[in-house]
Amino acid sequence: MDSDALESTPETRLAALGITLPKAAPTPIGSFRNVRRAGNMIYVSGQGPVRADGTLIRGKVGSEVTAEEARDHARLVAVNILSALRDALGSLDRVSGVVKLLGLVNADPDFERHPFVIDGASDLLADIFGEAGIHARSSFGVGSLPNRISVEIEAIFEIDDRIQPDQSR
């Protein structure tokens, strides 16, 4: 194994992709928290496409939003999931695997490309976590989502407590 492979971590891959996580994860809009730990599992509550400035991306996929745009929204949701995860863990390097995603698409009744949309998040997680980022997943359309957002995704991760966060970040 070469030294580049040994030094490749989720945090270094994130930086190599030019992705800067928001300073803080979006604030929950209800009586829940963004992240809940149970043993070595971390559950990230449903996150939406919220830009760093707090702007929500809204719209019905299939009429107001194209599948390609919604796929980009799902990628942004993955960024927000990673932000919540880093807030909770101190470093994405503590993640040993992505276990499962549940992706909801605010879609017109005739829309059929839900998996394509949620691939925006799945592909980013695979880019960040490598093989450990390949996960189980469900994706489906719903008649509405809170605040008319286009996509909502929740996630389950496995963590390794032997890895401590790098305090130099």
**pLDDT digits over 10-59, tens only?**
999 999 999 999 887 777 777 888 999 999 999 999 999 999 888 999 99
H or E element, residue 83: helix 67-89
Nearest to 44 by CA among 23, 56, 55, 28: 28
**Per-residue exposure over 91-113, b if at least 16 CB sit within 10 Å of its own CB, e if not:** bbbbbbbbbebbbbbbbeeebeb
Write the DSSP symbol of residue 58.
B
Can you tell me the distance from the alpha carbon of 80 to that of 88, in angstroms, rounded to the nearest whole number? 13
pLDDT digits (tens, 9 = 90+) for 76-88: 999 999 999 999 9
Burial class (CB in 10 A: 0-12, 13-18, 19+), 125: buried
* 67 has pLDDT over 90: yes
Which CATH code is given to the segment(s) 3-159? Answer: 3.30.1330.40
Confidence of residue 3 (pLDDT cuts 50, 70, 90): very low
- Which pLDDT score, from 0 to 100, does residue 161 have? 75
Q: List phi, psi (to 5°) of 42.
A: -120, 125
pLDDT digits (tens, 9 = 90+) for 108-153: 999 999 999 999 999 999 999 999 999 999 999 999 999 999 999 9
